[in-house]
Structure 1
Amino acid sequence: MLMPALFVADAVRAHSDPTAEPFDTIVVTDADAATEIDRQWMAAKGIKHEILDFEPLRDITISMGRLTTATLIKLLLAEIFAERYERILYLDTDLTIHADVTALFDLDLGGHAIAAQRRGVVFATEKERATGEAHFAELGMSRPFRYCNTGVICIDVAAWNRAGLTERTLDYVRRNPKLCMLPDEDSLNAVLDSAFASLSPVWNMLPRRSPYLPLHDLIEPAIVHYAGADKPWKRFGKEKPLFPDPQAYRLYQAFLATSPWPRWLGTQWTMSDLKNAISSAIRTTRRRLKGKSTGPSGAEMKDFIERFARYCAEADFADVAQGLVLRQGSRLRPNRDRRSRWRGNGETLPDAEPGVEGAST
C-alpha cells in the first residue's frame, strides 16, 4: 500500500526547516507498487522513488498475517545506500508526524549502529510483563532486557555495515521464523541484544486512545506510531475503537483533499468493518456491565501511568542528553528552538507496506 508512505513523506517535509541543509526523501517500493500518477506526484514534491528487488527475501517465512516481505526491507537499507548516505532515518508508514524529525540526523549515536525507542520497559500488567520478558529470553537476549521498536530507526550506515547487521538479522529470521512474529524487530533485537542508543517516546509515541490517554499529558510527540491493526487511515476496522481519536484520520483527509486521490480513504473500510466495530463495542460494554475485565484494572492503570512517568523522568535518553528533547520533570517535548542543520525531505520505506526513509547527504 503506497498511500501511507506518501502521506508520511509529505508530512516529514511539511514539518521540516526549509532553511537548513537538505537531505533526500525516498519512498522505497517494489516494481509494481507505484503508478505513473504516483511517480509524477512524488517528482513534483521532490520525493525520490527507489525500486528495490524483494526477490532475495521471498524465501523468508512471515508468520504474522498482516505483515509482508516488505517489512524486512529496512534491514537492507544500510547496505543498499552505503555509497550514498552516512545516516538514514527509517520511518514506518503507520505514523503521523507532528514536528521536525530532521533533528535526529544531528544525534550522536555513541558508536551504536542505531538509535531507537525502547519497547517493553513499562508494562501495564504483570501478565504482559511476564509474556514480554519470556519472549525476549526466547530470542536469546540478556538481562536486563533492552528491546527496541523498529518503527522509527536512526541508522549509522558505517556502524551497521561494520557489524554485518543485514546478513546477521536475515540469517536469524531464516533460522527462527516461528519465533520472529515481528521478523524485522525480533531479529534486530536478538542480534543487537540491547546495543542501541535510546530515544525518548517523543519520537515513537502511542496513539491517543483509551486507557492510555493520560500518557499524552506527559509526552508532546514528534511522531505517533499506530502499531498493530488500528491504522490511522482506517475509519472502521477490526480491533479499532468505534469512536477513535479523529486527529490522524483528519490529517489524512487534509492530505488527500488536494491530491490526485481524494476518494482513497473511502476505499479503506467496508460495511463489514463497521459491523465488526459495532459488535466489538457492544461486547466490550456487556463485559463491563457484568463486571468482567476488558483491559487493565483502574489500579493497574494508575500504577502503570506512575511507572511510565518515572521512566520519562529518570531514563537516560540520548536525545534528551543532547538537547533534541526537553525534559521538565516527567514531561518530554521536542526542542523546537533547536535548529537542525538538516532540511527535511523525509524518506518512506516499507513496514507491512512501502515506507519512508530519510537519508542524509
Structure 2
Amino acid sequence: MNVHSIPTGTAPVGPKQQLGPIVFAVDAAYAVPLATALRSAAENNRDAWPLDIHVIHEGIGEETKRRIFDSLPANSAVIQWHPIGTLSFASGFSTRPGVSKMTFARILLPQFLPETCNRALYLDGDILVLGALERLWNIDLGEAVIGAVSDYWLDNVVSNGPRAGGLRVERYFNAGVLLIDLAKWRAEKISERSLEYLDRFPTTEYSDQDALNVACDGKWKILDRAWNFQFEPTQVIARLALEQKLAIAHFVTNVKPWKSGSLSPNAAFYDTFRCRTRFALTPRQRVQSGLKRAGSRLLARSALLRAVWSCTKTAMRAPTA
C-alpha cells in the first residue's frame, strides 16, 4: 500500500460520520474512468474534503497513480493504493466479455480497511458523481448489511425464477454502488459466503454480483435509484440529472462514454469532467474520436456500407501471393 497526500484522522463516533472511506477496485485499463470518477466526486463534495479514497488495483504503475492523483483539485483527497493479484483468488471464476477479473476484488473489500472502520462506500469505476454523497453516507441501514439499488434489468428476472446455477433471491441489486456496514459484513461472513458460491458456480453469469446477491439475500436495504442510476445506451444524462436529481450516474452497458469513437449520447457530458483530469483528450485524439464516431454512425445506418466494410476487412486479412 502507498498513500498520496496526508492521511486524515479517524471518522468521529456517532450517528453522523465523516464521509469515507470511499473504495474503488480497478485495473490499469480503468485509469481514465477512475480519474474522471474521482474528479466528479471531489468537485461535488467540497464540504467533505479531503475525501478518504481507497483504490484496490492491479497493474497501476507509479506514474499512472501520480497522474490520477494530480487529476484532482489540490487538497481534495487522500488516496491509499492497495495492490492485489486477481489470479491469486479469481483464476477459476469467469466473467462476461469485456469485464475485468478485478470485479471480484470488491468481495474482499473489508480486508483492505482497518478493523476500526465501521462503514464504507464502494463505487464502480464507470460512474460519475453528480451530487453530494453525505446523505447517502448517513443513511440508516438498520439491520441490513449493505444498502444498494435494485438492478433495473435483472431484479424481476431473478426474483421471479432461478437462473442458471440455481440463483434465486428475494430481490436482486446492482453491485456498482454499495453502502456497507463493515461490522455486519464480517459477522455475516459475506466475503466467505460469496467465494463459496463462486466455488460452486464459477461460471455464474454476473460473477461476483451474483455471489454477493446470494450472500446478502434478505440482508440488504433498497436505496433510491438516484444513488445508482443505471444508464441505458440511448439515455441522455442532461435530460435526467436535474429532473430526477441524480446523484450517481452508472454506465452499465458496453457503450462507455470515455471510449474513443463512443456512440454514447453522454460522451460530451462525460468529457466535461475528464477534460479537467491529467487524462484529457489531446486535439488529435478528439479528431480521431470524432472520425471514428462518424464512421460508426454511417455503418450503423447503412446495410450496404456494412457489407462493403465486412468485405474490405476480409480482403485485408487474406494472405497475399
**TM-score with structure 1 setting the length:** 0.63
User: What is the CA distance between 1:91 and its match in structure 2?
Assistant: 0.5
> What SS is found at the alignment partner of 2:193?
helix
Deviations along 1:165-188, one digit per CA (max 9) or x if unpaired, are 11111221122122x222121111
The aligned counterpart of 1:24 is 52
Q: 2:259 aligns with which of 221, 231, 234?
A: 234
> What SS is found at the alignment partner of 1:76?
helix
User: What is the CA distance between 1:3 and its match in structure 2?
Assistant: 1.8
Instruction: Choose 33-42 or 66-75, whichever is displaced more.
Output: 33-42
Matched, 1:251 2:272: yes
**Do the aligned partners of 1:95 and 1:224 also contact (CA within 8 Å) in 2?**
yes
Mark the CA change 1:33 to 1:114 in structure 2 (over 3 Å): closer, same or farther: same
CA distance in 2, matches of 1:81, 1:131: 32
**Do the aligned partners of 1:115 and 1:197 also contact (CA within 8 Å) in 2?**
yes
Residue identity in the other structure for 2:300: S
**Do the aligned partners of 2:232 and 2:253 also contact (CA within 8 Å) in 1?**
no
User: What is the CA distance between 1:112 and its match in structure 2?
Assistant: 1.1
Mark the CA change 1:160 to 1:253 in structure 2 (over 3 Å): closer, same or farther: closer
CA distance in 2, matches of 1:248, 1:172: 39
Matched, 1:33 2:60: yes
Instruction: Choose 261-270 or 203-212, whichever is displaced more.
Output: 261-270
**Do the aligned partners of 1:75 and 1:169 also contact (CA within 8 Å) in 2?**
yes
Residue identity in the other structure for 1:182: Y
User: What is the CA distance between 1:110 and its match in structure 2?
Assistant: 0.9
The aligned counterpart of 2:199 is 174
CA distance in 2, matches of 1:211, 1:245: 8
Residue identity in the other structure for 2:276: F
Query: Which structure carries more relative contact order (alpha carbon 8 Å, separation 6+)?
Result: 1
**Do the aligned partners of 1:29 and 1:52 also contact (CA within 8 Å) in 2?**
yes
The aligned counterpart of 2:12 is none
CA distance in 2, matches of 1:40, 1:212: 29
The aligned counterpart of 2:282 is 263
CA distance in 2, matches of 1:78, 1:176: 23
> What SS is found at the alignment partner of 1:150?
strand
RMSD in angstroms over aligned alpha carbons? Answer: 3.5
Deviations along 1:53-86, one digit per CA (max 9) or x if unpaired, are 2242242322312112211111111233142521
User: What is the CA distance between 1:131 and its match in structure 2?
Assistant: 7.8
What aligned pairs does 1:82-121 form with structure 2 within 5 A after superposition?
82-120=114-152
What aligned pairs does 1:258-337 form with structure 2 within 5 A after superposition?
259=278, 262-263=281-282, 266=285, 275-282=295-302
User: What is the CA distance between 1:109 and its match in structure 2?
Assistant: 0.6
CA distance in 2, matches of 1:108, 1:265: 48
Identical amino acids, percent of aligned pairs: 22
**Do the aligned partners of 2:232 and 2:252 also contact (CA within 8 Å) in 1?**
no
> What SS is found at the alignment partner of 1:5?
helix
Mark the CA change 1:41 to 1:204 in structure 2 (over 3 Å): closer, same or farther: closer
Mark the CA change 1:41 to 1:22 in structure 2 (over 3 Å): closer, same or farther: closer
What aligned pairs does 1:134-145 form with structure 2 within 5 A after superposition?
134-135=161-162, 138-142=165-169, 145=170
**Do the aligned partners of 1:82 and 1:158 also contact (CA within 8 Å) in 2?**
no
User: What is the CA distance between 1:203 and its match in structure 2?
Assistant: 0.6
The aligned counterpart of 2:107 is 75
Residue ranges of structure 2 left out of the alignment (5+ in a row)? 1-28, 304-321
> What SS is found at the alignment partner of 1:151?
strand
User: What is the CA distance between 1:51 and its match in structure 2?
Assistant: 2.5
